[in-house]
């Protein structure tokens, strides 16, 4: 969060923070021979996914919001390895690299255009000035929250289906916290879009006068990543998901953990619950922003109550 956005994109999307997950995937033979370790990994991953997503709800730094979403997605990758589906974790790792790099680099274009301003409370009205950056952040956010037929949907939805298909306490625990994290992810993603681009501007006049779209050499990688954020999950899913797929055969899974077929026969209602949580998160984000625009004093007075301050500080200060 302190480094330049290209560095943040490289670290958060593809290299440093996902190395631990990759190590678990490579050591699948060791983890599969200890049931208690798998349970610990699954529970810690589920707790991480929800905790990090809840912390991101009321962060005010643009890059900090995206950074906590990385922590939350890492929780998804870890808890699905604890449920013995290593290839799906690798699938989500690859998908996440695409749309998270897109989000960080797009955030860099916004920060660059606003003279290095990162505070969401000092943005707003950028849709007219940075239309390409807006479209790229919108595509990345929709992929992140698991919008159907975008890249994030194929791996995130599969992870939650496999968790509930486990038919165990640990699987249900991971599913519940995963759906709750999906709600929080949708909430802070749309909050970021509303505060930065759609709300009335709240920044300095000198910043607005000098705001400008990034040059084409900065926008071209964004367009490539944006295109991949739409199609990459669809074209690569058959390599990873399902018995006999390439990546499934590269990892070791005990015969007692072959429950990937069970997820295919879940009811349509169960399969759509994560999407309903996503819709609810976007709706509550819209309601909160609408209430703030209608009556700032009402929202501020509630925030300054003892209950409001407790929740805001608890989440904002981790």
pLDDT digits 0-9 by tens, 17-52: 889 999 999 999 999 998 999 999 999 999 999 999
Mean pLDDT, the chain, as a whole number? 88
132-142: pLDDT as tens digits: 999 999 999 99
Q: Which of 49-58, 62-71, 174-183, 255-264 has the lowest mean pLDDT?
A: 255-264
Residue 61 three-state SS: strand
pLDDT for the residue numbered 2: 65
Query: For 65-71, what is the mean pLDDT?
Result: 92
Q: What is the mean predicted confidence (pLDDT) over 209-228?
A: 88
**Exposed / middle / buried, residue 17 (Cβ in 10 Å: 0-12, 13-18, 19+):** middle
Token pair 């194929």: residue: 154
Provide the greatest CA pair distance for the chain.
64
Average pLDDT (272-281) is 94
| Averaged pLDDT, 238-266 | 80
pTM over the 0.85 mark = yes
Q: Which token pair is 52?
A: 């990090």
pLDDT in tens, 146-204: 999 999 999 999 999 999 998 899 999 999 999 999 999 999 999 999 988 988 887 77
Task: Report the distance separating Cα 157 and Cα 162, nearest Å.
Answer: 9
- Residue 262 — very low, low, confident or very high, per pLDDT cuts 50/70/90? confident
Answer yes or no: is pLDDT of 112 > 70.
Answer: yes
Residue boundaries of the structural domains of the chain: 5-316
Lowest-pLDDT range, 8-22, 162-176, 211-225, 295-309? Answer: 295-309
Whether the per-residue pLDDT at 1 is higher than 90: the answer is: no
What pLDDT is recorded for position 159?
94
- CB of 185 within 8 A of CB of 144? yes
In angstroms, what CA-CA distances link 272 with 258, 267, 278?
A: 23, 9, 10
Q: pLDDT tier at 303 (50, 70, 90 boundaries)?
A: confident
pLDDT at residue 220 greater than cutoff 70: yes
Task: Map tokens 């926008």 to a residue.
Answer: 219
């Amino acid at each position: 969060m302190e480094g330049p956005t290209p560095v943040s994109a490289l670290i958060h999307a593809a290299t440093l923070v996902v190395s631990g997950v990759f190590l678990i995937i490579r050591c699948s033979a060791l983890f599969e021979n200890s049931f208690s370790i798998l349970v610990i990994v699954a529970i810690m991953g589920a707790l991480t996914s929800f905790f990090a997503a809840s912390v991101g709800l009321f962060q005010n730094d643009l890059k900090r919001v995206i950074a906590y979403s990385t922590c939350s997605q890492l929780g998804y990758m870890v808890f699905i390895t604890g449920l013995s589906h290593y290839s799906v974790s690798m699938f989500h790792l690859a998908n996440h690299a695409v749309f998270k790099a897109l989000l960080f680099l797009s955030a860099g274009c916004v920060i660059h255009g606003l003279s290095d301003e990162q505070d969401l409370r000092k943005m707003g009205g950028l849709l007219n000035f940075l239309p390409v950056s807006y479209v790229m952040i919108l595509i990345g956010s929709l992929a992140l929250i698991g919008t159907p037929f975008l890249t994030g949907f194929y791996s995130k939805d599969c992870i939650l289906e496999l968790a509930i298909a486990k038919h165990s306490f640990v699987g249900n625990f991971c599913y519940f916290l995963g759906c709750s994290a999906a709600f929080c992810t949708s909430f802070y993603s749309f909050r970021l879009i509303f505060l930065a681009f759609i709300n009335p501007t709240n920044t300095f006049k000198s910043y607005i006068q000098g705001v400008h779209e990034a040059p084409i050499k900065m926008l071209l990688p964004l367009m490539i990543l944006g295109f991949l954020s739409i199609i990459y999950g669809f074209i690569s899913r058959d390599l990873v998901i399902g018995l006999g797929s390439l990546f499934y055969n590269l990892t070791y899974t005990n015969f007692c953990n072959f429950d990937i077929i069970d997820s295919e026969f879940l009811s349509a209602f169960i399969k759509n619950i994560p999407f309903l949580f996503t819709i609810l998160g976007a709706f509550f984000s819209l309601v909160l922003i609408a209430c703030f625009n209608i009556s700032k004093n009402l929202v501020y007075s509630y925030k300054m109550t003892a209950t409001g301050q407790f929740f805001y500080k608890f989440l904002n200060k981790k």
